[in-house]
Amino acid sequence: MASFYTNFIFPLILLLTIFPYNSCAIESSELLINDLFESAKQPEFFNWLKSLRRKIHEYPELAFQEYKTSELIRNELDLLGIEYVWPVAKTGLVGTVGSGQEPWFGLRADMDALPMQEMVDSEYKSKNDGKMHACGHDAHVTMLLGAARLLQNRKDKLKGTVKLVFQPAEEGYAGASYMIEEGALDGVKAIFGMHVWPFIPTGIIGSKPGPIMAGAGRFTAIMHGKGGHAAIPHKAKDPILAVSMTVLALQQLVSRETDPLESRVLSVAFVDGGEAGNVIPESVKFGGTFRFLTSGSYSYLKQRIKEIIETEASVHQCTATVDFGEDLMRPYPPTLNDPTMYEHAKRVGAVLLGEENVTHGDITMGAEDFSFYSQKMSAAFFTIGAQNKTAAATGGVKGLHSPYFTLDEDVLPIGAALHAAVAMSYFDSLGQT
Ligand SMILES: *[C@@H]1O[C@H](CO)[C@@H](O)[C@H](O)[C@H]1NC(C)=O
Ligand SMILES: *[C@@H]1O[C@H](CO)[C@@H](O)[C@H](O)[C@H]1NC(C)=O
């Protein structure tokens, strides 16, 4: 027996490992990717995806309140026999598929909805008044559950471990940062995420290396003056005028203090003060958002916004308080695509959808808390086309966060397969030299 092993089996294994493996890796990974896509497109699988998405769509939940959504995910993972850690960051969870060995690769979906009333009529219209999945997170959860099933069916072929990251509170409340803080992603080497995109047709994905979405901060300020009769202004300290000058002064942060080749935004988005045409109010509240693509920008802009508001206040004999709201809503860093991870996901996307259907995505100054992962590990974030064909034909595409937002459910099997394929072939790619 021993000689049979040493003389025959052992050299054969050696030969197979060293010789034909590398040359076949690309081909076998193409077979794998196409096989994942075929499975995801099977009518039974597709119908399961649609029914999941519609259930989630019908009961949207806001940041850190995703209890039913989380329960639905756990039920599905239980049915699939996938273990998970729960709760993480209140309502979040992290499932585990694969060998249990390193490397660990993360796939991420966000679960929360928006505080707005749905205006789209469908049999699965939101039943939670004033809440709506207007940002497609229902599809994100569904696509990741789809990937979970595809991966679990091939768990013996996984040369590593996939962490299925279902996080709460992407919309403004930095759920991702709490997932990281609670250690749910410790040991994860790389991560992939997607956002459904209503502006590109289904079947097309897009991204780019480097910064892809902006970092974001917010501020709220109160300008305290002295109220009085509007016909006797010299007896008052007018906070309306002080705020007006402050709004103008703040604009210089972008036009005069930012490298013209860099991108930043500062928008004062609300001014709230005064009630009558003949009364100067005591105080005026105002605030807005600021966006940036480089990591040092947040602290710089924060300091300058505070200085400008306080200094303008004193010019007008007022006083001001400025609040950056960091305790409740953590500022988001920019989302940065690691060039290697980006290339990897792009290659997989090209096999799945055809080279011409992987496009160079635009940077947007919108923010996304996937950025917190991109600070900790190699990350790639892609937009995935989900344009409603009927709406596109009649020129009526509604954007994210619109009460009329709809998405093309044909995106679901594509996203499920892409998730699974990016993770599986990541492990295979590490096996190559
Ligand atoms: C690109 O996508 C379109 C639409 O889904 C499809 O018809 C076409 O075959 C794709 N291209 C390739 C090279 O696969
Ligand atoms: C696409 O939009 C049309 C109207 O513009 C709507 O009737 C239809 O239900 C939408 N399709 C999906 C899949 O949401």
To the question of pTM greater than 0.85 for the whole model, the response is yes
C-alpha closest to that of 108 among 355, 362, 377, 327: 377
User: Tokens 């600070």 appear where?
Assistant: 375
pLDDT value of residue 25:
61
Question: Looking at domain 215-323, does it have CATH number 3.30.70.360?
Answer: yes
Using alpha carbons only, give the angle 365, 321, 254 rounded to the nearest 5 degrees.
Answer: 30
Beta carbon of 103 within 6 Å of any ligand 1 atom = no
Number of Cβ within a 10 Å radius of residue 11: 11
pLDDT value of residue 303:
98
140 annotated as ligand-binding: no
DSSP 277-312: TTEE-SEEEEEEEEEESSTTHHHHHHHHHHHHHHHH
Cα–Cα distance for residue pair 243/285, rounded to 1 Å: 9
Q: Which bound ligand lies closest to the C-alpha atom of 404?
A: 2
Cα–Cα distance for residue pair 282/214, rounded to 1 Å: 36
Q: Which two tokens stand for residue 91?
A: 């309502």
Q: What is the mean pLDDT of the chain?
A: 93
Q: State the distance from the centre of ligand 2 to the C-alpha of 403, rounded, in angstroms.
A: 13
Q: What mean pLDDT is predicted for residues 367-385?
A: 97
Q: What burial letters (b/e) apply to 284-300, b meaning 16+ CB within 10 Å?
A: bebbbbbbbbbeebbee
Taking the CA of residue 202 as reference, the ligand 1 atom at the shortest distance is 5
195 annotated as ligand-binding: yes
pLDDT, tens only, 171-228: 999 999 999 999 999 999 999 999 999 999 999 999 999 999 999 999 999 999 999 9
Question: Length of the chain in residues, anyone?
Answer: 433
| One-letter amino acid of 176 | A
The residue whose CB lies within 8 Å of the most ligand 1 atoms, and thus the one to mutate among 202, 351, 356, 387, is: 356
Beta carbon of 183 within 6 Å of any ligand 1 atom = no
C-alpha closest to that of 337 among 399, 293, 384, 291: 293
Q: Which bound ligand lies closest to the C-alpha atom of 385?
A: 1
The residue whose CB lies within 8 Å of the most ligand 2 atoms, and thus the one to mutate among 58, 142, 406, is: 406
Give the confidence band of 308 by pLDDT, cuts at 50, 70, 90: very high
C-alpha closest to that of 333 among 292, 274, 283, 276: 292
Taking the CA of residue 406 as reference, the ligand 2 atom at the shortest distance is 14
Please tell me the class of the 24-212+334-431 domain.
alpha beta
Give the confidence band of 29 by pLDDT, cuts at 50, 70, 90: confident
Q: Nearest residue CA, atom 10 of ligand 1?
A: 354
pLDDT value of residue 395:
80
Using CA atoms of 157, 158, 159, 163 in order, give the dihedral in degrees to the nearest 10: -170
Beta carbon of 354 within 6 Å of any ligand 1 atom = yes
Q: Nearest residue CA, atom 7 of ligand 1?
A: 203
| One-letter amino acid of 86 | W
State whether residue 272 is helix, strand or coil: strand
Backbone angles phi, psi at 285, to 5 degrees: -105, 140
C-alpha closest to that of 227 among 212, 240, 238, 219: 238
pLDDT, tens only, 130-167: 999 999 999 999 999 999 999 999 999 999 999 999 99
Helix segments in 59-169, DSSP class H: 67-80, 137-152
pLDDT, tens only, 76-87: 999 999 999 999
Cα–Cα distance for residue pair 368/387, rounded to 1 Å: 20
State whether residue 258 is helix, strand or coil: coil
Q: Nearest residue CA, atom 3 of ligand 1?
A: 203
C-alpha closest to that of 107 among 166, 38, 61: 166
- CB 254, CB 309: distance < 8 Å: no
Give the confidence band of 27 by pLDDT, cuts at 50, 70, 90: low
Domain boundaries of the chain, sorted by first residue: 24-212+334-431, 215-323
State whether residue 326 is helix, strand or coil: coil
Q: State the distance from the centre of ligand 1 to the C-alpha of 260, rounded, in angstroms.
A: 38
pLDDT, tens only, 90-125: 999 999 999 889 999 999 999 999 999 999 999 999
Beta carbon of 410 within 6 Å of any ligand 2 atom = no
Beta carbon of 203 within 6 Å of any ligand 1 atom = yes
171 annotated as ligand-binding: yes
Taking the CA of residue 389 as reference, the ligand 2 atom at the shortest distance is 1
Backbone angles phi, psi at 405, to 5 degrees: -60, 130
Q: Nearest residue CA, atom 14 of ligand 1?
A: 354
Q: Nearest residue CA, atom 1 of ligand 1?
A: 357
224 annotated as ligand-binding: no
Give the confidence band of 3 by pLDDT, cuts at 50, 70, 90: very low
pLDDT, tens only, 257-274: 999 999 999 999 999 999
Cα–Cα distance for residue pair 245/44, rounded to 1 Å: 62
| One-letter amino acid of 352 | L
316 annotated as ligand-binding: no
pLDDT value of residue 23:
45
Beta carbon of 120 within 6 Å of any ligand 2 atom = no
